[in-house]
Amino acid sequence: MGVLQLGDIAIQRILEHEVPVYYPSDFFAEATVEALEPYRQWLEPKALCPHTGRMVMPVQSYLVRTRCHIILIDTCCGCNKTYAEPPVWHPSGNEVWLANLKAAGVQPEEIDYVICTHLHSDHCGWNTRLVDGLWVPTFPNAKYLFTQVEYQAMEEENHQIFIDNVKPVMEAGQALLVGLDYALDDEIWLESTPGHSAGHVAVHIKSNQHHAVMCGDLIHTPLQLVEPGWSPTFEFDLAASTNTRRSFLDKYCNSDSLILTAHFPSPSIGHIIRRGNGYDFKYI
Ligand SMILES: [Zn+2]
């Protein structure tokens, strides 16, 4: 994966998977065969696999190196997690992501901050790794930033994802519970982007007037550029999800801000541009 230079900050994708995974109808109630037909050619083959009809959705982190810190935004599915949904994202013993991090020249010990946009299984998996039967933080010297709202919601739910990926970080004293607009410094800050989960945030990155934003799961697929009103049926708050996505697309349309997506097909990074009544994505 190439390094993107944003002013003084270096940004690099650390990929775990990029395979066809979900049918559009798994996500969107509106995604009937007829409704998809006008977009099929535009989406295929990169975002929609023509052979399986499934959406191609990478799972990846963003490695951000500022002058002061080495930061990871989101940590993918991880290795040997006990829940396995979807199975294609959870092959046993999968350490590809860790190998890719090391290939980028960074050891786990060197990570200063881990920022999770939210605490779903494909965004916090490598927060921990299994050592002698116990889940321990993968990044022993890092502080992990979770929004207080997201943490509390996940703690109450007490799903295996929280037990495996989040609780051990808190128990190790490495978690920082922060507000939805927390700023790490004047280069890295959070923005509340509600809807997908209880305390979902986007992560802003700015250096020398250059700006990028990692948008997490406020948008999942390029299909939502042409149908911004389509929200996944499993959203925490469906109406808020739609509002957040619409205002985000509107705000950054035809701007200089680079959008770092979680699940758009490689290269996953680009600019939002106007296309008819909707939007398109100009990949870098
Ligand atoms: Zn996701």
How far, in Å, is the centroid of ligand 1 from the Cα of 8? Answer: 28
End-to-end CA distance of the chain: 13
CA of 141 to the centre of ligand 1 (A): 25
pLDDT the model gives residue 87: 84
CA of 54 to the centre of ligand 1 (A): 16
The pTM is what?
A: 0.96
Q: How far is the CA of 263 from the centre of ligand 1 (A)?
A: 7
162 alpha carbon – ligand 1 mean position (Å): 15
Q: What is the pLDDT of residue 85?
A: 79
Report the separation in Å between the CA atom of 262 and the middle of ligand 1, taken as the mean of its atom positions.
7
Rounded to the nearest whole angstrom, what is the distance from the C-alpha of residue 68 to the centroid of ligand 1?
A: 28
The distance of Cα 136 from the centroid of its chain, to the nearest Å, equals: 22
Task: Let me know if domain 3-283 sits in CATH 3.60.15.10.
Answer: yes
Instruction: State the pLDDT at residue 173.
Output: 98
The Å distance, Cα 53 to ligand 1 centre, comes to: 19
**pLDDT tens series, the chain, 284 aa:** 799 999 999 999 999 999 999 999 999 999 999 999 999 999 999 999 999 999 999 999 999 999 999 999 999 999 999 876 788 888 888 999 999 999 999 999 999 999 999 999 999 999 999 999 999 999 999 999 999 999 999 999 999 999 999 999 999 999 999 999 999 999 999 999 999 999 999 999 999 999 999 999 999 999 999 999 999 999 999 999 999 999 999 999 999 999 999 999 999 999 999 998 899 999 99
Q: What pLDDT does residue 82 have? A: 80
Q: What separation in Å is there between the alpha carbon of 63 and the centre of ligand 1? A: 17
Q: How far is the CA of 117 from the centre of ligand 1 (A)?
A: 9
| Sequence spans of domains, the chain | 3-283
Give me the pLDDT at residue 281, please.
98
The pLDDT of residue 88? 87
Give the model's pLDDT for residue 198. Answer: 96
pLDDT tens digits for range 25-38: 999 999 999 999 99
* pLDDT recorded at residue 92: 81
Ligand 1 centroid vs 216 CA: distance in angstroms?
7
